[in-house]
Structure 1
Amino acid sequence: MMSTLLHLDASARTRSFSRRLSARFASSWRTAHPSGRYLYRDLAAEPVPHVTEAWTELCDAVLGAGITDIGRYREVVRTPAQRAAWAVLAPLLDELVAADTVLIGTPMYNFSVPAALKAWIDQVTFPRMSLRGKRFVVAGARGGTYLPGTPRAPFDHEERYLRDFFAGHFDVPDVEFVHAELTNALVDPRLASRRDEQEASLAAALARMDEVAT
């Protein structure tokens, strides 16, 4: 069976550390799976719309009808507004269900995920379904360091949120996180003394991407 990788990037920067990490994974994965299928979405360059009232009506209709097969979701589409909502949602669900591996490149923004990624997450929670058996890999970048034991570790609501979401909503208990820490050491004078740590963290993250991908 052909393997499929769904690759999402959420950074507002076109030359970001999270994009560099996710690109490294994708390159290694494609080398290891030359006949595999590769799907890509740039959630920052082509934002997914936020959910609308029509989306909530579709979700309620699916739940009310007891439909568990995604292929039958279209049965509840009735109004023009619902058809417009479904036109946004359907390809996102198709990509997610088709993928064996889901790769998410995302920075930490304000201790959590970017709005572009949150919009995608909100769309595909329609309704709760089990994706157990699929691999989820998050390639992250943070301006400071949020490693366990560091002063800012309690403020890491990005990894905690994504772990809770994937486990609680998609039944995926094991998500691989690889972070480049201290990226602001390149621009913030207060972190200039930690430049070596930043470079070491990035090098380790890039190497880990190769390992996880293959």
Structure 2
Amino acid sequence: MPVLLHLDASARRRSVSREVGDAFAAGWREANPDGRYVHRDLAAEPVPFIGEAWTEICDNLLADGITALDRLHEGARTPEQKEAWAIIEPLLAELVAADVVLIATPMYNFGIPASLKAWIDQVTFPKMSLKGRRFVVASARGGAYGPGTPREPFDHQERYLRDFFAGHFAIEDAVFVNAELVNSRVDPNLAHLRDAHEASHADALDAARALAKEI
């Protein structure tokens, strides 16, 4: 039975990243009627930031050479570390059980929201691998950051996530579906780009729906 883990990170209850993510999730559930769907809203129910006990768990794992996903709990030994593990365990269990991980996230200040970074920090341990799982990112950006645009060098959202997936999870084939120029909806100085945004938004929805049938 395939499993989809769907993470939302937007602080907005009605957002473009949520809409694009929902389009993928709906298509995936239609294509996998017997699959299991798990949704976690990182904005509505924020994950705590890591603390010193979390770093100690990592130190223990490194010292003992433990990288197997089913043995990571062995790094929690003291009462403080076990308390930290109680936060980690359900998050990590959802991630490890998933065949497809969908991350719906806006770009905030050229990067990802703190809510998503907190989740990433909690579930990432030294030399762990998630090979065999598929990662899909449904994103919304206020401006245009695609290849060849003036703001391409400022994209620390997709670039960061690609580097993170490859460097920590051994995932090289993450798929990104980006809706751009969202700020044209509210910024008068970008009003002339509203049509371009609408086209990008529609393309992202279509791409998300099509991708859901392929993964």
TM-score (norm 2): 0.96
Match of residue 39 from structure 1 = 38
Q: Residues of 1 paired with 2:63 and 2:22: CA distance?
A: 41
The alpha carbon displacement at 1:182 in A equals 0.4
Native 8 Å contact 2:47 2:115 kept in 1: yes
Written as runs of structure 1 = structure 2, the 5 A alignment for 1:43-192 is 43-192=42-191
Listed one character per residue, the Cα deviations across residues 16-53 of structure 1 (whole Å, up to 9, x for unaligned) are: 00000101100000000001011111001111111100
Aligned residues: CA RMSD: 0.9
In structure 2, C-alpha distance between the alignment counterparts of 1:169 and 1:82, rounded to whole Å:
22
Partner of 1:193: 192
Q: Which amino acid aligns with 2:148?
A: G
> Residues of 1 paired with 2:181 and 2:97: CA distance?
35
1:69: how far off?
Answer: 2.4
Return the alpha-carbon distance in structure 2 between the equivalents of residues 190 and 6 of structure 1.
Answer: 38
Cα distance in 1 between the residues matched to 2:110 and 2:72: 35
Quote the Cα distance in structure 1 between the aligned partners of 2:69 and 2:199. 44
Equivalent residue of 1:157, what SS? coil
Unaligned runs of 5+ in 2: none
In 2, Cα distance between the equivalents of 1:76 and 1:18?
35
| Identity in percent | 65
The residue aligned with 1:12 is 11
- Structure 1 ranges of 4+ moved more than 6 A: none
Tell me which amino acid in the other structure corresponds to 2:76: V
Q: 1:125 & 1:161 partners in 2: Cα distance?
A: 15
Match of 1:213 in 2: 212
Deviates more, 1:123-132 or 1:200-209: 123-132
1:176 alignment partner AA: V
Cα distance in 1, alignment partners of residues 62 and 19 from structure 2: 39
* Structure 2 SS opposite 1:90: helix
Cα distance in 2, alignment partners of residues 142 and 115 from structure 1: 16
Distance, in Å, in 1 between the alignment partners of 2:118 and 2:104 is 15
Q: Take 1:175 and 1:92, find their aligned partners in 2: how far apart are those partners?
A: 20
- Which amino acid letter does the alignment assign opposite residue 194 of structure 2? R
Residue identity in the other structure for 2:30? T
Amino acid in the other structure paired with 2:195: D
Measured after TM superposition, the shift of residue 92 of structure 1 is 1.2
CA distance in 2, matches of 1:164, 1:83: 30
Task: Encode CA deviations 1:122-161: one digit per residue, 9 max, x unaligned.
Answer: 1111223111221100000001111111111111011000
> 1:174 deviation in Å?
1.0
| Equivalent pair of 2:69/2:128 in contact (CA under 8 Å) | no
Measure the CA separation in 2 of the matches of 1:122 and 1:77.
16
Following superposition, the deviation at residue 99 of structure 1 comes to 0.6
| Unaligned stretches of 5+ residues in structure 1 | none
Partner Cα distance (2:88, 2:144) in 1? 35
